Amino acid sequence: MQLYLDTGNIDEIKEIAAWGVLDGVTTNPTLLSREKDRGDYRALLKEICDVVQGPVSAEVTALDAEGMVRQAQSLSKISEHIVVKIPCIPEGLKAAGVLFEEGIHVNMTLTFSPLQAILAANAGAAYVSPFVGRLDDIGHEGINQVARIREIFDNYGIDTRIIFASTRHPEHVMQAALIGADICTMPAKVFRQMVKHPLTDIGLKRFLDDWEKTGFSIE
Ligand code: G3P
């Protein structure tokens, strides 16, 4: 499973990219609004693409297909790594079809059901992003929707990639991997939680204490 960061924060992106485990980044208007002080959003997206050297999702804000296509064309000029996020609404499906013909990769966002995912795939979206955490928030089991999308896509050999999104905690990442999501996008906090284990810290301290007693040093 590929691991993406869900952020617009360049420091977080540099931190996790340095681990050598970062495959891509997803942003959205809310995440980029938190980076407003960095100035031009295009320069920020370019910097993110240069660090990641993999898919970086940037979202349109137009609500009509024509406007979405125009914004997608403009965003895709920032870098070859830009993937355009389009909301799963009728105008978004129309735009996705046009962008597919133009070879611009679309990530169909704000997807909450397998039926929306079927439409996204048939419209030509390269990625579909079911928002699991937001479904959990309203009392649904978001993971069930991802499981259904996985099953449907496998039934028909659909190659649209499933991005498990709105990831809130490490258990979500585990669910994503077990269900066969292609990608899990998560905040930096969840990456940091994933690597932590109390037994790792205890074990490391014990090894180092024992080694120190020997007086040896590794050159
Ligand atoms: O990038 C979209 C998605 O991951 C949003 O997550 O936490 O705002 O529901 P969240």
Question: Tens digit of pLDDT for each residue in 95-124?
Answer: 999 999 999 999 999 999 999 999 999 999
Per-residue pLDDT at 190: 98
Per-residue pLDDT at 215: 97
Rounded to an integer, what distance in angstroms lies between the CA atom of residue 134 and that of residue 138? 7
Strands 2-6 and 82-87: unpaired
Annotated active-site residue 85? The verdict is yes
Given the residues 85, 189, 196, 205, select the one marked as catalytic. Answer: 85
| Residue with the two structure tokens 């965003």 | 75
Distance from the alpha carbon of residue 211 to the mean position of ligand 1, in angstroms: 45
Distance from the alpha carbon of residue 6 to the mean position of ligand 1, in angstroms: 7
- Render pLDDT for 122-177 as a digit per residue (tens, 0 to 9): 999 999 999 999 999 999 999 999 999 999 999 999 999 999 999 999 999 999 99
Rounded to an integer, what distance in angstroms lies between the CA atom of residue 128 and that of residue 106? 8
Residue nearest atom 5 of ligand 1, based on CA coordinates: 166
Per-residue pLDDT at 202: 98
Which of 6, 56, 111, 136 to mutate to test ligand 1, by most ligand atoms within 8 A of the CB atom?
6
Contact by Cβ (8 Å): 95, 119: no
Distance from the alpha carbon of residue 165 to the mean position of ligand 1, in angstroms: 6
- Render pLDDT for 70-98 as a digit per residue (tens, 0 to 9): 999 999 999 999 999 999 999 999 999 99
Per-residue pLDDT at 39: 86
Beta strands in the chain (DSSP E): 2-6, 24-26, 56-59, 82-87, 106-111, 127-130, 161-164, 183-186
Domains and CATH numbers, the chain: 2-210 (3.20.20.70)
- Render pLDDT for 32-85 as a digit per residue (tens, 0 to 9): 999 999 989 999 999 999 999 999 999 999 999 999 999 999 999 999 999 999
Distance from the alpha carbon of residue 172 to the mean position of ligand 1, in angstroms: 13
CB of 133 sitting under 6 A from ligand 1: yes
Per-residue pLDDT at 169: 98
Beta-carbon contacts of 27 under 8 Å, excluding residues fewer than 6 positions away, are 6, 7, 8, 45, 48, 56, 57, 58, 59, 85
Confidence check: pLDDT of 11 > 90 = yes
This prediction has a pTM of: 0.96
First to last CA, the chain: 37
Distance from the alpha carbon of residue 73 to the mean position of ligand 1, in angstroms: 24
Rounded to an integer, what distance in angstroms lies between the CA atom of residue 110 and that of residue 217? 54
CB of 111 sitting under 6 A from ligand 1: no
Which of 12, 59, 166, 190 to mutate to test ligand 1, by most ligand atoms within 8 A of the CB atom?
166
pLDDT band at 197 (very low <50, low <70, confident <90, very high): very high
CB of 6 sitting under 6 A from ligand 1: yes
